[in-house]
């Protein structure tokens, strides 16, 4: 008995040591692996459609990988220098902008004393300077750290390739090591798949397209630094509740104050259409799948951004969603959860199955 007990302890100690060592080994490229996994999750549905046509896993994966390079890597290669230049222009322009005068015009009752006006102006100036300086430094680091970035992208690309090609085998392997009963395991994977689809497509992909649609107006009406503003609109579009309005409304107000009325109306019109686009298209993606409360997605994005950086926009909501999935599975109630809502549960309620 003691010998068997010591054998289990030794096994767990060795396993724990190897897990810690493996984590330390993979830690420098962990975010690249996660990036490749997320991209693979987005492109797997397209891979399955291509596979039906070409009948070869390697050929289908190669086609999808080339598509990834064309859609993501090539634009980043050309856009990054533009973003760096525009971030420098925005930083330089922000040093000469009078923030107080427009506010005095809009809210004259608040800016009664000169001291209050100076304090508000200094606060806004410091805030804008920190943001623009941070953007400029971020894009500059991308160029200066290109060798490291290249290795990270290479890891992400290979992770993407093998997960897309062998995702069925990988899922089967993960299922084989989970400690859950078969019924719980099936629910867990189905709910996880639906949640991942809802977050990646319903929130991230649609949010990016919404930002791109709004960004078209910046180019059409000659707004300065349109590339940078479009990038910010794409990032804002990912956030639930907030959306692209946090970008196009200040731009429209600035154009209106500057006397460019036509451009202001045009930008505002595209912004409203972008919001309509989200409300019309998003329900079609998530209506028949397990859906996550917007508050959970928003909190997950903010927490993920602070913990993981830019990828936290996606990782944060998924972590919280997977936790809630497990809680919902073990709750095992025939009423919809507050944070996780499954259409099948709503059907059961309508049919009277409590």
- The secondary structure of 210-253 as a DSSP string is HHHHHHHHHHHTT-TTHHHHHHHHHHHHHSTTTTTHHHHHHHHH
What's the pLDDT score for residue 353? 32
Give pLDDT tens digits for 53-83.
888 888 999 999 998 888 887 777 777 777 7
Q: Which of 96-100, 102-106, 179-183 has the highest mean pLDDT?
A: 179-183
197 vs 340 pLDDT, higher one: 197
Tell me: the pLDDT tens digits for 32-41?
888 888 888 8
Mean per-residue pLDDT, 163-171: 87
Alpha-carbon distance of 284 to 303, in angstroms, equals 28
Under 8 Å between Cβ of 235 and 215: no
Instruction: Check residue 201 and give its pLDDT.
Output: 74
137-141, 227-231, 272-276, 339-343 — which one is most confidently predicted on average? 227-231
pTM, 2 dp: 0.68
Residue 325 clears pLDDT 80, i.e. is over it:
no
pLDDT confidence of residue 350 = 39
258-261 own/partner pairs: CB under 8 Å, 24+ apart: 260/221
Lowest mean pLDDT: which of 148-152, 267-271, 293-297?
293-297
Per-residue pLDDT at 134 exceeds 50: yes
Give residue 63's pLDDT: 92
- Residue 90 pLDDT more than 80? no
């Amino acid at each position: 008995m003691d010998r068997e007990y010591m054998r289990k302890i030794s096994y767990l100690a060795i396993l724990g040591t190897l897990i810690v060592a493996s984590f330390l080994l993979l830690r420098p490229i962990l975010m690249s692996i996660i990036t490749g996994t997320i991209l693979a999750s987005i492109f797997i549905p397209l891979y399955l459609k291509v596979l039906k046509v070409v009948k070869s896993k390697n050929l289908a994966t190669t086609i999808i990988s080339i598509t990834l390079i064309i859609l993501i890597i090539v634009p980043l290669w050309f856009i990054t220098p533009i973003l760096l230049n525009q971030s420098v222009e925005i930083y330089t322009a922000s040093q000469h902008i009078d923030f107080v005068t427009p506010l005095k015009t809009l809210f004259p009752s608040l800016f009664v004393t000169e001291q209050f006006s100076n304090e508000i102006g200094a606060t806004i100036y410091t805030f804008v300077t920190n943001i623009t300086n941070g953007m400029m430094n971020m894009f500059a680091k991308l160029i200066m750290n290109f060798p490291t970035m290249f290795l990270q992208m290479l890891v992400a690309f290979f992770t993407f390739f093998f997960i897309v090609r062998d995702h069925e085998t990988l899922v089967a392997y993960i299922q084989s090591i989970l400690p859950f009963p078969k019924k719980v395991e099936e629910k867990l994977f189905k709910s996880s798949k639906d949640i991942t689809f809802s977050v990646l497509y319903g929130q991230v992909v649609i949010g990016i397209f919404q930002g791109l649609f709004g960004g078209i107006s910046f180019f059409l009406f000659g707004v300065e630094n349109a590339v940078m503003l479009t990038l910010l609109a794409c990032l804002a579009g990912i956030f639930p509740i907030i959306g692209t309005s946090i970008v196009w409304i200040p731009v429209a107000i600035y154009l209106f104050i500057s006397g460019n009325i036509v451009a202001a109306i045009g930008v505002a019109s595209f912004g409203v259409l972008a919001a309509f686009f989200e409300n019309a298209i998003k329900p079609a993606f998530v209506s028949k799948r397990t859906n996550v409360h917007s508050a959970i997605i928003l909190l997950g994005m903010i927490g993920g951004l602070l913990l993981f950086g830019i990828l936290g926009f996606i990782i944060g909501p998924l972590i919280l969603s997977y936790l809630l999935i497990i809680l919902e599975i073990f709750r095992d109630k025939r009423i919809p959860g507050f944070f996780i809502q499954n259409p099948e549960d709503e059907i059961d309620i309508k049919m009277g199955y409590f």
